[in-house]
């Protein structure tokens, strides 16, 4: 079977370190294994518009930011097709037919949609497009016949919804769509990286992010004002790791080689954690270490981004080419879908023959 990867991001802001550990880092690793027949990375502007209808300019401005972040992280247009969702009308058409396979109550049960509705204070005024975005996401995934979708934990309900649509479609209309597999981060801390404020998820919408393109001073400021254990007041007090964002970030970013480089008096993260829990290790020291780790991780990304920023027209050209290539694939899937549903009347010679026979026999 072909191996195809698809993932994407909403262009509602620059990408942050939550995206990086939740999905982006994995994409680049998978891309570089060379194991995939095709890789599609989608800038989901149409999805971003479902809750930004009155602010299309924000979405428009951020397309290039997301593309630059991709390139900065090492996504390579020679190996991965980067595309803009709204420029592929086939995706809308697929969504339209999938909508008939999903009930309103099923969408209402989607826990991610539920919490996002709450976060956005939509209450009774939920845009229909936003409510149905899990269906459009199923269209995105199936249009490219994706087999693997590397995403953060918040996307689990979306993948479940997609699988249900695939099963339903295939059982009603015959084997047509490919079932995708979700690929979650291996590390618990990366599943859903908390915000710098300690809130459950770093998210552009919550304004609690460290961006991939952030300058060193900003990173430092954010690290030093980060949420730790509120009961760890004096250095000698025992500290707790539970909900301690600084340690969660170390779990997500620390590599063994950072200890000899920045904190040689400790063997590894386990030793550092044990000392913190025992008491006698101050928050400032841990934050200083985390700052060094993040600076080391983000510096090469920031520098590469600056290189790509020098030729913006080339980035748009890359997006145009990627989108064109992706549209061909989506068009093929749409053709298969319509043939399976038998709504390909003009290509269906059998249908035309049958219908004319009905009248010539009279």
The residues that touch ligand ATP, with contacts defined as CB under 6 A, are 7, 9-10, 12, 18-19, 22-23, 151-152, 154-155, 192-193, 201-205
Coil, strand or helix: which one is 242? coil
The 3-class SS string of 20-72 reads HHHHHHHHHHHHHHCCCCEEEEEECHHHHHCCCCCCHHHHHHHHHHHHHHHHH
Q: For tokens 């080391």, name the residue.
A: 296
Question: 212 near 294, Cβ under 8 Å?
Answer: no
9 vs 38, beta carbon nearer ligand ATP: 9
By beta-carbon proximity to ligand ATP, the closer residue of 203 and 333 is 203
Task: Provide, rounded to whole angstroms, the least separation between the CB of residue 346 and ligand ATP.
Answer: 39
CB-nearer residue toward ligand ATP: 97 or 161: 161
Coil, strand or helix at 279 = coil
Rg (CA), the chain: 24
In the complex, what is the shortest distance from the CB of residue 205 to ligand ATP, in angstroms, rounded to a whole number? Answer: 3
Q: Closest distance between ligand ATP and the C-beta of residue 201, in Å?
A: 4
Smaller CB distance to ligand ATP: residue 263 or 298?
Answer: 298
| Alpha-helical runs (H) found in the chain | 17-19, 25-33, 45-49, 56-73, 90-98, 104-108, 111-119, 128-131, 133-143, 156-173, 188-191, 216-224, 245-253, 258-262, 269-278, 283-309, 312-340, 349-360
Q: How far is the CB of 276 from ligand ATP (least distance, A)?
A: 23
C-beta of 354: minimal distance to ligand ATP in Å? 47
* Of 321, 299, 309, nearest in space to 71 by CA: 309
Taking alpha carbons only, the member of 250, 230, 248 closest to residue 290 is: 250
Half-sphere exposure of 212 (CA within 13 A, CB side): 28
CB of 48 to ligand ATP, least distance (A): 7
Q: Closest CB to ligand ATP among 131 and 266?
A: 131
Closer CB to ligand ATP, 120 or 285, in the complex: 120
Q: How far is the CB of 263 from ligand ATP (least distance, A)?
A: 25
Residue 246 to residue 2: CA distance in whole angstroms: 41
Least CB distance to ligand ATP at residue 69 (A): 11
Q: Using the minimum distance from each CB to ligand ATP, give the nearer residue, 190 or 272.
A: 190
Nearer Cβ to ligand ATP (65/154):
154
Q: Report the distance separating Cα 81 and Cα 329, nearest Å.
A: 11
* Residue from 14, 5, 9, 7 nearest 309 by CA: 14
Closest residue to ligand ATP in the complex (CB): 22
């Amino acid at each position: 079977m072909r191996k195809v990867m698809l993932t994407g991001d909403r262009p509602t802001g620059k990408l942050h370190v939550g995206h990086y550990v939740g999905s982006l880092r994995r994409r680049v690793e998978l891309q570089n294994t060379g194991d995939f027949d095709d890789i599609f990375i989608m800038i989901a502007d149409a999805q971003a518009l479902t809750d930004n209808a009155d602010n299309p300019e924000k979405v428009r401005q951020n397309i290039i930011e997301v593309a630059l972040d991709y390139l900065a992280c090492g996504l390579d247009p020679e190996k991965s097709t980067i595309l803009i969702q709204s420029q592929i009308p086939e995706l809308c058409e697929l969504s339209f037919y999938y909508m008939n396979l999903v009930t309103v109550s099923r969408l209402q049960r989607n826990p991610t949609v539920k919490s996002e509705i709450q976060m956005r204070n939509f209450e009774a005024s939920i845009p229909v497009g936003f409510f149905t975005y899990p269906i459009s996401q199923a269209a995105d995934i199936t249009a490219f016949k994706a087999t693997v979708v590397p995403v953060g934990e918040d996307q689990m309900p979306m993948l479940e919804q997609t699988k249900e649509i695939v099963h339903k479609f295939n059982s009603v209309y015959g084997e047509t769509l490919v079932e995708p597999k979700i690929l979650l981060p291996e590390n618990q801390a990366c599943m859903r990286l908390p915000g710098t404020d300690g809130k459950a998820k770093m998210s552009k919408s919550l304004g609690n992010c460290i961006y991939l393109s952030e300058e060193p001073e900003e990173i430092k400021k954010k690290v030093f004002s980060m949420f730790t254990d509120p009961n760890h007041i004096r250095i000698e007090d025992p500290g707790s790791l539970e909900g301690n964002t600084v340690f969660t970030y170390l779990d997500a970013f620390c590599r063994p080689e950072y200890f000899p480089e920045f904190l040689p008096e400790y063997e590894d993260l386990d030793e550092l954690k044990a000392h913190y829990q025992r008491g006698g290790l101050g928050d400032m020291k841990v934050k200083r270490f985390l700052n060094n780790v993040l600076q080391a991780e983000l510096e090469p990304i920031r520098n590469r981004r600056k290189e790509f920023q020098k030729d913006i027209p080339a980035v748009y050209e890359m997006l145009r080419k990627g989108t064109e290539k992706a549209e061909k694939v989506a068009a093929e899937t749409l053709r298969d879908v319509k043939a399976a549903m038998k709504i390909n009347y003009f290509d269906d010679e059998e249908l035309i023959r049958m219908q004319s026979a009905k009248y010539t026999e009279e």
